[in-house]
Amino acid sequence: MPFYHKLGSIPPKRHTQFRKPDGSLYYEQLFGTIGFDGMSTNSYHEQRPTQVKEIKNQFSVAPKIAKANNIKSYRLKGFQIKPENDFLESRKTVLINSDCAIQLAAPKQSTSDYFYKNTDADELIFVHKGTGKLRTMLGNLDFKYGDYLLIPRGIIYKIDFDTEDNRLFIVESRRPIYTPKRYRNWFGQLLEHSPFCERDIRRPEELETNNESGDFLIKVKKQDDIIEMVYASHPFDVIGYDGYNYPYAFSIHDFEPITGRIHQPPPVHQTFETDAFVVCSFVPRLYDYHPQSIPAPYNHSNIDSDEVLYYVDGDFMSRNDIEAGHISLHPAGIPHGPHPGATERSIGKTETEELAVMVDTFKPLMVTEDAMKIADDTYHTSWL
């Protein structure tokens, strides 16, 4: 995160004695990224966070690739992913490259008997359906429909769902995920022309501190393997922390759209960035107000990036036969644009109620076997 956050109790200075009421020491941990050069947090634990009792099962969760070199446009019917009880087992990777993995999930149950840590990637979880609480070592966040949950790599967490009807769109990023640089000044503050500001970002405000010993199962993702590790102390034993590296929530409904007299390009919708892909939010907004404007997006060629659009809600003006939960993939190398009739239908329209999440990757995406199970194999001909 580009701004400082403090929660719980911490000592006045880093790397100094911080004692419990009984005189013993709390245990400090630097939780940082990019060596010692990236965002970091200093956390203070009731017990040493290094106590591994046992390493148990290890198994691969690497997706099976169906098309490694793809130039075909696809529509994936995301709600055809069947609900599963377990949070991790419900996650299905549909598109992937060396920088990110795009997943769909329909978990029915909370993560009750284990904790989870992804050491491979930051996780950006978009909540399409469901409410609940994200519980982490650095505090908790309530979530609801339309929330982005940004979980930095290495965070230990659980998810508690209120019901069994949950739908998630997930991007795993091997690069750190930031707010767009062009929206921040050289101090890191979000600028006046940014479509959101620090007030919209929800930081953890509820810190669970469990001073317990025992057997605590943590499922760790590393290099596309899940490794089951048993820790001797409760992972949520932090008494306090401060820094810039922590989970947070941001609602797509708090994104303020940028509009103009003529059709604005996709970067005005940008919400998150890495050096390998960007994430954009398409939200309800007024259409272009030039008297001769065409609200429908113009045809454009994806020369340098693959475009993935996840449809959340509303009327998707530029596409025919698109429903909530669908994903469109338009690969680099071929042009795409509105379906036949969409341009003409858009003229005279004054607003849109569409809600969608877009991921543009700078490397080609491979299509997985799980994607092909829900793919419309004729979508590439829908412009005829």
Q: What is the CATH number of the domain that holds 126?
A: 2.60.120.10
Q: Based on the domain organization, do 372 and 276 belong to the same domain?
A: yes
The candidate with the shortest Cα–Cα distance to 159, out of 200, 119, 108, 205, is 108
Q: Which of 236, 252, 268 delimits the end of a domain?
A: 252
In the annotated binding site, the residues are: 300, 306, 336
* Rg of the chain on CA atoms, in Å: 22
Q: Based on the domain organization, do 128 and 45 belong to the same domain?
A: yes
Q: Based on the domain organization, do 103 and 132 belong to the same domain?
A: yes
Q: Based on the domain organization, do 243 and 259 belong to the same domain?
A: no
Q: Based on the domain organization, do 88 and 204 belong to the same domain?
A: yes
Q: Based on the domain organization, do 192 and 222 belong to the same domain?
A: yes
Three-point CA angle 340, 346, 349, nearest 5°: 165
Q: Based on the domain organization, do 221 and 309 belong to the same domain?
A: no
Identify any residues that bridge with 158 across adjacent strands, giving them in sequence order: 135
3-state DSSP assignment of residue 133: strand
What long-range pairs does 262-270 form, CB within 8 A, spacing at least 24?
262/288, 262/290, 262/293, 263/288, 263/293, 263/294, 263/295, 263/296, 263/297, 263/298, 264/288, 266/358, 266/360, 268/195, 269/195, 269/358, 270/180
User: Tokens 């209120």 label which residue?
Assistant: 162
Identify any residues that bridge with 119 across adjacent strands, giving them in sequence order: none
Q: Based on the domain organization, do 197 and 317 belong to the same domain?
A: no
**What is the maximal distance between C-alpha atoms in the chain?**
76
Tokens encoding 330: 């338009």
Q: Which position among 5, 15, 263, 326 bears the catalytic label?
A: 263
Q: Which domain holds residue 52?
A: 28-70+80-252
Q: Is residue 263 flagged as an active site residue? A: yes
The candidate with the shortest Cα–Cα distance to 307, out of 327, 324, 287, is 327
Tokens encoding 160: 């508690």
The predicted model scores a pTM of 0.97
Q: Based on the domain organization, do 211 and 115 belong to the same domain?
A: yes
Q: Based on the domain organization, do 228 and 90 belong to the same domain?
A: yes
Q: Based on the domain organization, do 340 and 204 belong to the same domain?
A: no
Q: Based on the domain organization, do 206 and 110 belong to the same domain?
A: yes
Tens digit of pLDDT per residue, the chain (384 long)? 668 999 999 999 999 999 999 999 999 999 988 888 888 999 999 999 999 999 999 999 999 999 999 999 999 999 999 999 999 999 999 999 999 999 999 999 999 999 999 999 999 999 999 999 999 999 999 999 999 999 999 999 999 999 999 999 999 999 999 999 999 999 889 999 999 999 999 999 899 999 999 999 999 999 999 999 999 999 999 999 999 999 999 999 999 999 999 999 889 999 999 999 999 999 999 999 999 999 989 998 888 999 999 999 998 878 888 999 999 999 998 899 999 999 999 999 999 999 999 999 999 999 999 999 999 999 999 999
What is the number of helices (H) and of strands (E) in the chain?
Answer: 3, 30
Surface-to-core class of residue 43, CB atoms within 10 Å of its CB (0-12 exposed, 13-18 middle, 19+ buried) = buried
10 part of a folded domain? no
